[in-house]
Amino acid sequence: MNYWLIKSDPQSYGWEEMKKDGETLWDGVRNYQARNNMKLIKEGELALFYHSNTDKAIMGEVVITKEYYQDPTSDDPRWCAVDLKFAKEYSKPVTLAQIKDDQRLKDILLVRQPRLSVMPIKVSEYDIISKYAQK
DNA sequence: GCCAACGTTGGC
DNA sequence: GCCAACGTTGGC
């Protein structure tokens, strides 16, 4: 079981829409590293849903319902999409500031590589974040 | 709204 | 294949 973090700009697709839709396809990734990560995601794995720009916080969790396939928004076979389903909303979103303040999370890719939009999360990191989410 | 960081593109 | 120029992202 691997954990992931996906980033979204709420102006293009926000957590509210994710909740309302229940299920959606995650497309439009045009970055090789993010794409490579996306190809490693397996059906049934969990991803943290992060809002960039306005909230700068992890809003909740989603489950991958379909592994990577050709991105329907592109004819270019290099790009792919996955399907996601709403899993749970955090009672307290975990903010970037909290993450940055926690020494144990200093190596998290969210901080070290701020522009990457799909990234793996270590189990230890996931555990810390989910504890913050319940507080 | 600005700017730094980074990825991508294109000319050589 | 290198590197400068440019575009995009995202934090502040």
Residue A12 belongs to domain with CATH number: 3.10.590.10
Q: How confident is the model at residue A92, as a pLDDT?
A: 95
Q: Rounded mean pLDDT of chain A?
A: 94
Q: Using a 7 A cutoff on CB, list residues near strand C.
A: A 7, 9, 30, 52-53, 56, 96-97, 100, 114-115, 117
Domain region containing A13: 3-134
Distance A31 CA to C2 C1' (A): 22
Q: How confident is the model at residue A74, as a pLDDT?
A: 85
Q: Are strands A118-121 and A23-26 parallel, antiparallel or unpaired?
A: unpaired
Q: Please, is A14 exposed, middle or buried when counting C-beta atoms within 10 Å of its C-beta (0-12, 13-18, 19+)?
A: middle
Q: Which nucleotides of B are covered by protein (CB under 7 A)?
A: 5-8
Residue A100: DSSP 8-state: H
Q: Using a 7 A cutoff on CB, list residues near strand B.
A: A 30-33, 113-116
Report how many domains make up chain A: 1
| Residue A82, phi then psi, degrees to nearest 5 | -130, 165
Q: How confident is the model at residue A6, as a pLDDT?
A: 96
Residue A51 has pLDDT above 90, yes or no: yes
Structure tokens at A44: 């049934």
pTM, entire model: 0.94
